[in-house]
Amino acid sequence: MLMSVPSNPGFWVNEPVRVALTVGAGAALVCAVVGCATVMRRQAFAGHALADVSSAGGSAAYLLGLNPLLGFLGMAAAVAVVMEWADMREVRERDLLTGVVLGAGLGLTALLLYFDATMGSVSGAAMTVLFGSMFTIPATIVPVALAVAGAALVASAIIYRPLLLSALAADLARAQGLRVRAVTLTHAVTLALAVSLAAMTVGAILATALLIGPAAAALRLARRPFEALVLAALIGLGATWGGIALAYESFYWTPGRGWPVSFFIVILIFVAYLLSSWAATRRGARRGAALYGCEGA
């Protein structure tokens, strides 16, 4: 069924599909790279909160008729910087702070979506903002999305080593004269970029899947950081393109109504996670047996 898609001539020449493939690829790559750092730094909740909160920006953009990507991005970046700043002293408070910011942001989303529904003439804004709809992404977004993706990847590459070192132990980084706050702040901004791209692709609420899923799967398997990045990128890209292909195909399953792309992407990511988790456990068991064998001898 998956194989039948590329042979379907409509798939490749279809403009919305091409836009979806391009934007989706950018989102998947950036999310894989930024997601690895996010999971390593135990910031999955913060990443999720940013994604959810960015929906307020998305709904505002629909209300004002702006480019939705800029809406998502503006909100996510503002909140990321504020959270990183407020986080300064009390690391143990991070989860609570994240939760409260998330609550306030979602409250705002509720209001803006209410305005979208009552004042604006935009129908289905809520569905698009929260759950994404890849086949309706306007082609005009492609250059902006690619620029955002490029910026995020370059910034991630620049802080690659310092961020790894800070993830290992902030004190070790400081002892090398590193300004840890500058590094984590940069990472917060790349997180905002990644999350807004993902919100554009799979919707604000499901962006977490693209950000955390491939990274978590890759981190279980990889032996070193670069391996994790490559693996996460492959999983993310595979799931996104596979999801798009399946969704396109699904128009033929239930005539007249396609299944949502987001659904397929998330399911594929979850399957990848389960597989990698299973492989990691098996490898761990083997290594454990080897270790015990060694000690017994």
Partner 1 sequence: MSTVAAALTVERACVELGGRPILREVSFQLAPGEFCGLIGSNGSGKTTLLRAILGFVRLDSGQIRLADGTTAGRLVGYVPQKIALDPGLPLRARDVVALGLDGARLGPALPSRRRAEQVEQMLHAVGAEAFADQRVGLLSGGQQQRVLVAHALVRRPRLLLLDEPLANLDVRSTAEIVALLRRLSREYGAAVLLSAHDMNPLLPAMDRIVYLAHGSAVAGKAEEVVRTEVLSELYGYHVDVVRVHGRVVVVAAEASDQIRAAVARDPVHTASVP
Partner 2 sequence: MFAPFMVHAWLLATIVALVSGAIGFFVVARRAAFPAHALPLGAFPGAAAASLLGVNQLLGLAVFCALGVLVISQLQRGERREVASALWLALSLAAGVLLLSLSGVYAQSINGLLFGQVLGVSREQVVSVAVLSVGALGVLALFARPLLLDSLSGELAAAALGRTGRLEWIFLAMLALTTVIAVPVVGALLVFTLMVGPASAARAFTNRPWRALAGSVALSVASVWGAIALAYLTNWPVGLFVGLLGAACYVSGRLRSAGAVAQAG
198 CB-near residues (< 8 Å, 6+ apart): 27, 31, 51, 206, 207, 210, 211
Selected binder of partner 2 within 99, 138, 158, 226 (CB under 8 A)? 99
- CA–CA distance, 265 with 202 (Å, rounded to integer): 8
Q: Is the dihedral of CA 148, 114, 205, 250 positive or negative?
A: negative
- Which region among 25-33, 116-124, 135-143, 169-177 touches partner 1 (by CB under 8 A)? 169-177
Distance in angstroms (rounded) separating the CA atoms of residues 247 and 265: 9
Q: Which is nearer to partner 1, 70 or 180 (CB)?
A: 180
d(CA 135, CA 20): 6
Binding partner 1 (rule: CB under 8 A), the pick from 205, 228, 265, 272 is: 228
Which of 89, 171, 256, 257 forms a contact with partner 1 (CB under 8 A)? 171
**Piece of 7-15, 138-146, 170-178, 256-264 that binds partner 2 (CB under 8 A):** 256-264
- 11-43 in b/e form (b: 16+ CB < 10 A) is beeeebbebbbbbbbbbbbbbbbbbbbbbbbeb
Binding mask of the shown chain, residues 178 to 207, with x at each position contacting partner 1 by CB under 8 A = x-----------------------------
Q: Which of residues 48-87 bind partner 2 (CB under 8 A)?
A: 48, 52
Is 167 a binding residue for partner 1 by CB under 8 A? The answer is yes
The answer to the question of residue 50 lying near partner 1 (CB under 8 A) is no
**Which of these, 206, 203, 211, 217, lies nearest to 187 by C-alpha position?**
211
Is 225 in contact with 37 (CB distance < 8 Å)?
Answer: no
Question: Is residue 177 a contact point for partner 1 (CB under 8 A)?
Answer: yes
What does the binding site for partner 2 look like in residue numbers (CB under 8 A)? Answer: 39, 42, 44-45, 47-48, 52, 92, 95-111, 113-114, 117, 124, 126-127, 130-131, 203, 205-206, 208-209, 212-213, 216, 220, 254, 257-260, 262-263, 265-267, 269-270, 273, 277, 281
What does the binding site for partner 1 look like in residue numbers (CB under 8 A)? Answer: 39-40, 157-162, 164-165, 167-169, 171-178, 219, 222-228
